[in-house]
Amino acid sequence: MCSDSLTINGDDTQLHQVLMNLVNNARDAVAGRENPTITVALEMFETDDPFIHRYSYFKRGRYAHLSVRDNGCGIPESHIEHLFEPFYTTKEIGKGTGLGLAMVFGAIKTHRGYVEVDSVEGEGSTFHIYLPLIEGARESDLPQASASIVGEGETILIADDDANVLETSCEVLKALGYRVLTAENGEQALELFRENAESIDLVISDLVMPVMGGHEAVQSMRQIKPDTKAIFATGYDSNGDAHLNGELVIKKPFVVEELSRLIRQVLGQ
């Protein structure tokens, strides 16, 4: 138990999601172990010269150091550098996606903090979270952690024909506090919209899908509900698509923080 008084400037909802994601990943990592162990620890940490020499991008100072350690399967060295990339995963569809780590990275960066990973394949992993402490500064002088990226229970309909993208997007949106409806193509999305038009606050749709594309589907939705808000996702260059004039488009793969802020921007209009 940490006996130090550690005060940070942060958003409790985001930090709760960070901890839940790390613990859930640790749970998956120890599955099948004879003596599975997950340890969560909190301590005050102050950078010193050897630490700064190793991690030169850190700012000197005192931090709340949160660690989640497991004795699970560990992470291959070749995978570690990709861990926090959106949609990077070594898991099968239906068994998690790894997108939670991209969320962890985005949330901690929003708090002006750092994330580090120590892992040995076959022996386990430790995820380290460092959050700068408030020490003698006026709150108005501190960088503010944005709470605006967290949802308020709104309903989002998301459509994508890529099963992995659909699953990961659903997972991250739920973690951010949204209700989520999913569709595998534009026609399915339109049918779901007909059934739930009044409760759907936002549509996020891939542009290119079989059966019916995203833009066509949203145009049909707007015939039902003219003020339907939408964000289009695409892995292609959309600059030449004249029909997207005035529409909000986000490139895939997108940064979770970027998407979450865009969602709050649209829902706040």
Give tens-digit pLDDT for 112-155: 889 999 999 989 999 999 999 986 644 444 444 444 466 788 99
What's the confidence (pLDDT) of residue 181?
95
What's the confidence (pLDDT) of residue 106?
77
CA distance 200 to 186: 15
Instruction: Report the predicted TM-score, pTM, of the whole model to 2 decimal places.
Output: 0.55
- For 50-98, the pLDDT digits (tens) are 988 888 888 899 999 999 999 999 888 888 877 776 555 555 444 444 4
Q: Which residues pair with 179 in a beta bridge?
A: 155
CA distance 63 to 15: 15
The least confident of 36-50, 54-68, 255-269 is 255-269
User: Residue 59, Cβ neighbours under 10 Å: how many?
Assistant: 11
Q: Which of 121, 143, 123 is nearest to 134 (CA)?
A: 143
CATH 3.40.50.1970, applies to 155-267: no
> Mean pLDDT across the chain, nearest whole number?
81
CA distance 254 to 235: 9
Handedness of CA 227, 231, 234, 240 (dihedral sign): positive
| Domain boundaries defined on the chain | 12-141, 155-267
Q: Which residue has the higher pLDDT, 136 or 242?
A: 136
Q: Check: CB of residue 70 under 8 Å from CB of residue 93.
A: no
One-letter amino acid of 166: L
The least confident of 3-17, 127-141, 172-186, 235-249 is 235-249
CATH number of 12-141: 3.30.565.10
What's the confidence (pLDDT) of residue 98?
47
